[in-house]
Amino acid sequence: MAFDYAAAVALYRGPFRVESRSPPTKILSLPHVASKFTSRPHLHSILADCLKEFKEIHYSLLPRAMPLTRSSDPLVWIDCEMTGLDADTDQILQICCFITDANLNLLEPQGFETVIHQPTSVLDNMNAWCIETHGRTGLTAAVQASTTTPEEAATALLAYIQKYVPQPRRGLLAGNSVHADKAFLAKGPYQAVLEWLHYRIVDVSALKEMVRRWGSEELLESVPGKKEVHLARDDILESIEEMRFYRGRLFGF
């Protein structure tokens, strides 16, 4: 006697969701099948075994589609290199910006990057870490050679963002510990950039901290390592890649 698998599915407690790549998800309902089994007691043991096996099927084995994003708002990825971490006294030396859609696809592959000139007096007042790091990466020399003013940098950055995010307060500032970058962008000519963006931020470092506290050891060990280049372009592209990792491992697509 052939076993009616669809009938067994119908008796599984709770709605049975069929996941497909064509939303919306459909719920199967076969109430008429239950009567077939209640009227045939000799099938109960077969049904029980099949339901036990069915319950052990993990939904991750079913095809998973990227869900329709609940927010289509783009992410504006920005990393700044500064003379220090005090937004009141330190200055931005370098800015790099990439923009992705809500699903982390780059809207434009080249990005925006600029190095801002600062006088020698500002560079000489950097702390030891900045003097060593920016000297090693060549950023200090690039700053000295640059003729770009903070006002020019802010204007160009805003124009780049507006080209791909034409509506105000739609794009979310994103990056690693991006609250620090936001503090510097809140100063002087850069304020116009923040005013164009949404007040919320997407901080990749916050996800990292969640994984450190609640993730499995296997997940924690597989988090991409940082190269610690400390150049804005390298750092922000790493942030996007890290977020793609978390999206895949934590949200399944």
- Tell me the catalytic residues: 230
Name the nearest CA neighbour of 2 among 32, 41, 46: 46
Please name the residues in contact with 12: beta carbons below 8 A apart, sequence gap of 6 or more.
Answer: 51, 54, 55
| Local structure of 75: helix, strand or coil | strand
DSSP helix, strand, coil percent of the chain (3-state; round to 5): 50, 15, 35
List b or e across 65-79, with b for residues whose CB sees 16 or more CB atoms inside 10 angstroms: eeeeeeeebbbbbbb
Separation between Cα atoms, residue 148 and residue 231, nearest integer Å:
17
Of 231, 16, 35, whose CA–CA distance to 133 is shortest?
231
